[in-house]
Structure formats: structure tokens, C-alpha cells
Structure 1
Amino acid sequence: MISEKYALMIIDMQKDFVLPNAPLCIGGAAETLPRIGELLEAFRVRGLPVIHVIRHHRADGVDVEGIREKYFTGGPGFAVPGTEGAEIVDELTPLANEYVLVKRRFSAFMQTELDFILRRLGVNHLVICGTQWPVCIRTTIFDALAFDYRVTSIVDATSARSSDVAEANIRDIAAMGVSCVEAGRFIRECL
């Protein structure tokens, strides 16, 4: 049996996606904070790698997906470096020894150094949580599988705009061999 070397990936838990009245607030994201906090603490205590994955976009939106250009035309945009909304929520502030990976697209693997970092750290199993299921979580999971990482999705530490969307995504990724468990169970049984 292959020994598991875990890394925790917390995806897009930035103020623009989590706080009420934020430009792209995802319903349920704030409610996942306690469970993400439990996972984060468990990884910190054990000295395991933590990667905070965030989005950054230029103020003019030239680097945002075409389907999201509307947020930058006539509006303030979102996840613009130097704005409060681009910051990780206070409850999950990274420590100095944790990685902050900037992405510009849905997947944390697309045109980033993520795979290089994970391989240098010897990681073979990703534990993924954050927001939101049908885009950034799902595409990152698909790409992780394509790169031959084992994946655990923490279902009660991940959000979507509705429970129907979350449930459909969980069914799909479970059918692909992704372990879908709650935070408490993962901490008890795997760490």
C-alpha cells in the first residue's frame, strides 16, 4: 500500500466570495468556516502542507473568464489585488509557512506552479475544501485526478449556491473515485 502524504487545499475563501453582500458571495460559504478551521488546525498541528488557493484579477478584468467580464464593466470587479475583497477571510489567515497560490481561472492547476510545489513536497493525496462546487472545486479535482493525485473532498467544508448543486457535484466526483467525507470523519480516520 502506498503511504499517504496529504496536503490541504483551501480554495477561494476570499472576502469577495464569502462575506454577505460581496460581489460574488456564495451562499453557504460562510457557514463552512468552522469546519474549514478544524481541518486547518488539524493540518497545522501535524505539520502537514497547507495551500491557500486564491483568485486575483487585474482591475480592468482583462484576465477574467469571458463569462465574468460583466463584473468589471461598470462595476468594481472582484478579487483585485490590494482590495479588501481579494483578501482571505480573517478566520483562515495563512501562516508564514503556508503556501498562497494565485490562480486566474477555475482550476488551481491551470497555468500555476501547483503541480511543481506538490511534487517537490512529495504530496500524493489532496484534501480539498472551499468554494464553490461546480466551478473551482470541481475543475481542480478533475485536474488533480488527471495528474494522478488521490483526492478527498470534504463535503461539509465546501459550498455551492444551493444544496442541489452541491449534491449533484458530490455524486459525480464520488463516481469518479473521489473520497467524499465530512471534516470530523477525515480528521479522526486519516490524520
Structure 2
Amino acid sequence: MDYTKLNWRNSALLIIDMQKDFTLLDGVSPIEGTLEVVPHISEIANAFRKHNRPIIHIIRLYKEDGSNVDLCRRALIENGKEIVKPHSEGAQIIPALLPANSIEPNHSKLLSGEILKIAPFDYVMYKPRWGAFYQTELESFLHKKEIDSLLVVGCNFPNCPRTTIYQASERDFKIGIVPTTLSGLYEKGIKEIQNIGVEIIKGHQLEKLICNITLVDYRSEWQPYFEQFNKAWLRKYYSVEPVDEYVLTHPEEAILNDGGCILFAQYNGKIIGTVALKYISDGVMELTKMAVDESCQGLGAGRMLCQGAIEKARVLKAKRLILYSQKKLTKALTIYQKNGFKEIPLEDGKYKRADVMMELTL
């Protein structure tokens, strides 16, 4: 059993010290490389929100008298330097890391130890020292939410994120990092935290891990899903043509027996989407019949189905992948384009509704 592998169903995102004074170049105490990680953290935070995972923004607040400041900085604050001063603009979290509906946290309540909810999935807490678990209620908060896995991002790896990682490890949390989301990260540091069981994750893999969607091969008992999902969107946008009716009701004869394949997207054990690869000729396959249950759209299943179909086509030794679509299906076309498909002249006669043809060279 791998005790260190993150359990994404019970995961939370810890965003550390991403405040204006530390991040912006005109801030009071900007830390090198922190501004550059903002877009990467923002993307990950949005993925956590999309999949209803909690995000905890962990911040510093230095009182003017220096009484709650680390010894190495206390004299600086006592002598009048105002860094992340409570209620100041510089102490605010970078807006790009917050959802549009968030509320400004009360710094007095944070200093008293409260963890404040500022949006449906976003919370803010104050930490008095480097580590987020030192003299805070973070551990209790996470346990109450049944969180056992943490993704740690933010500023500045050698200090607060690293200390937080070690504190979390001492409390038996599973921990992961995405290198592009930590300012001040260095190669030796990565190796050192790997040695205590920290999982190193590539950013492009993250949403697939968070969303808990898996791709599985066709099973005959799932044929009704293949038919249901596809007919639902066909009826919404077009009509079911005779060729659709045959393929959807007889997928084994129409697709599988000729060397094609059908994949399903499974979310928490439930089938929510499907896609097919149809054999056309030697080295050529058609990506077709991609559909997601309307109630589950927005989870990233369409993107995963497209990527899974491309990977499967390579396994099947295809050299060229084609598809037919329509210009008004902008979301689908965006998925195809992001995965490398290019528009080519349309071949007439396949589907009456098609006004776009695309291909991908594998």
C-alpha cells in the first residue's frame, strides 16, 4: 500500500502567503519569483473550486509593534517598516487567486485565530510563524472536513511552504506539490521533500487527478449510456439521422467489429460520458460520438475523453485521426483545437449537419 499517494477525494489546497506586499513588484517586500507563479496557482485554484474541493488561503499579518513577528524581522517592523500590516492593502490576497464572489476577511478575527469562509470553497486563516500548523486551528479544521491530502502552493518555498510541508508530514497528511506553483523552489529542495514522501505533480495532470474521472473500455451493459448521451445532444442541437440510429443502437457491429473502440468516462463510479473511434481505412480513424451527460458537464470529462481517444488511436497504430463537427459547437471545437486538431476541407456526404472537418496527424 502506498501511504503517501494523495487521496484527491479528500484533498485541500493550501495557498501560502500570496499577498500583495510579497507578490507585486511595487509591494513593500516583494519576493523574487512570486509574481510568476500566480497564473499557475490561479489555474489550480479554479480546478479545486470546479470540483468542490476546499481552498485555504494562509496569510501573514505583522502587527505594528512587532509582537507577532519572527525574530529575524521583528526589529524591522519595530522601526516602522509596514509589511502585511493588518487592514492594509498590502496584506490583501492577490485578487487573481480569489473567486469573483469572495468577501474581504476581517483581519481582527483572523488575528484572534478564526478561520473565515470568504466564498463557497475558499477560506482564509492567519499563521503567526513560518509553518501553517504552528499555533493555529488548521489541523482540527482539516480533520473536521475529513481531509487527509494536501497540495501546497505559494510563497516562498525555503521558508513557509517548506515548513508547512514538514509540519503536515509530521501529522500524517499526504502531501503534493506542483513545482511551477512555488516561488523559490530549487532542485535539491525537490529531492529532499521527495525523501519524506511528497508527491511531485505536473500541472497538466492535476485536473484529471482532482476530478476523479477515469476512462474505461466498452462493456455491453453500458450500450444504453452510449445511446442515451448521444441522442440527448443530437436532439438538443439537430436530429437523429439514420446513420446515428444504427451506430448508437448497434455499436458492436458499427464500430467495434471493424477494429474501432468505445471509451466511457466514469466519475465516482457513475458513467457520465463516452467517445468512439471508428476504423476508416489503414492508418485512419474517426473520432466520433463524443457526448457527456448534461448534468455532469463542466467537470472536464469532454477534454479527458478527447485526450483518451487520441491516446487510444496511437495504441491502435492510427496515423491520422479525423472528425466531423459544426461551427456552432464552440466548446467542442475548442477542445479539439487545444488537442492539436486542424480544420481541413469538408468531405461531403458523411453527416447532413456537419459543416466542419478536422484532422490530427499522430
- When normalised by structure 1's length, the TM-score is 0.91
- Is 2:39 the counterpart of 1:15? no
Contact 1:157 1:182 in 2 (8 A): no
Secondary structure (helix, strand or coil) at the match of 1:156 reads helix
**Larger Rg over CA atoms:** 2
Secondary structure (helix, strand or coil) at the match of 2:158 reads helix
Query: How many residues are paired up?
Result: 187
- Partner amino acid, structure 2, of 1:174: Q
**Residue aligning to 1:113:** 137
- Is 2:35 the counterpart of 1:30? yes
- How far has the Cα of 1:7 moved from its partner? 0.3
**Residue aligning to 1:154:** 178
Structure 1 segment 50-61 matched on structure 2, within 5 A: 50-61=55-66
Unaligned regions of 5+ residues in structure 2, if any? 103-118, 212-362
- Partner amino acid, structure 2, of 1:177: G
- Partner amino acid, structure 2, of 1:111: Q
- Is 2:51 the counterpart of 1:46? yes
- Partner amino acid, structure 2, of 1:90: P
Structure 1 segment 91-170 matched on structure 2, within 5 A: 91-93=96-98, 95=102, 96-97=119-120, 98-160=122-184, 166-170=186-190
Distance in 2, Cα, partners of 1:156 & 1:133 = 11
Secondary structure (helix, strand or coil) at the match of 2:197 reads coil
- How far has the Cα of 1:190 moved from its partner? 4.2
Distance in 2, Cα, partners of 1:52 & 1:175 = 26
Select which of 197, 203, 211 maps to 1:183.
203
- Comparing 74-83 and 46-55, the one that deviates more: 74-83
Distance in 1, Cα, partners of 2:21 & 2:83 = 6
Select which of 76, 83, 105 maps to 2:81.
76
Secondary structure (helix, strand or coil) at the match of 1:171 reads helix
Contact 1:159 1:166 in 2 (8 A): no
Distance in 1, Cα, partners of 2:98 & 2:64 = 23
- How far has the Cα of 1:168 moved from its partner? 2.4
- Comparing 17-26 and 107-116, the one that deviates more: 17-26
Identical pairs, percent = 35
- How far has the Cα of 1:169 moved from its partner? 1.6
- How far has the Cα of 1:183 moved from its partner? 2.1
Secondary structure (helix, strand or coil) at the match of 2:175 reads strand
Distance in 2, Cα, partners of 1:139 & 1:112 = 14
Contact 2:17 2:60 in 1 (8 A): yes
Distance in 1, Cα, partners of 2:35 & 2:178 = 15
Distance in 2, Cα, partners of 1:175 & 1:187 = 25
- Comparing 1-10 and 106-115, the one that deviates more: 1-10
Distance in 1, Cα, partners of 2:171 & 2:205 = 26
- Partner amino acid, structure 1, of 2:91: A
